[in-house]
Amino acid sequence: MAQRKYDQKRKDEAIDAVVSHGRSIAQAARDFDIAENTLYGWIATYKRKHDLAVIPKKDETLEQENARLKKELAQVKMDRDILKKATAYFASLER
């Protein structure tokens, strides 16, 4: 499937319809003939750029988002600990 290109004016209007005017993403996507996932991405980028809260994934409750984030944090901590041990191991080989 070919990727569609959208001009900046259309992107801005779609984002504004959701962020400023409270239109749902699904409705704005239909109104502007844009895929919902594309609009979700644009809005997430807009909110990160303007330091606003990023919307959770589509159909994700707060509990599900919290569980997902806890799992991701546990993975990151495990990765960090492995790197710490590897650093200590390789540092001991240099002596």
Q: Do 9 and 51 fall within a single domain?
A: yes
pTM of the model: 0.52
- Residues 12-37: pLDDT tens digits? 999 999 888 888 899 999 999 999 99
Q: What is the extent of the structural domain holding 88?
A: 57-95
Closest CA to 37 of 14, 63, 69: 14
Query: At 7, is the secondary structure helix, strand, or coil?
Result: coil
Task: Note whether 26 and 65 are same-domain residues.
Answer: no
- pLDDT, tens only, 43-55: 988 888 887 765 5
Sign of torsion over alpha carbons 28, 34, 38, 44: negative
- The CATH number of the domain holding residue 25 is 1.10.10
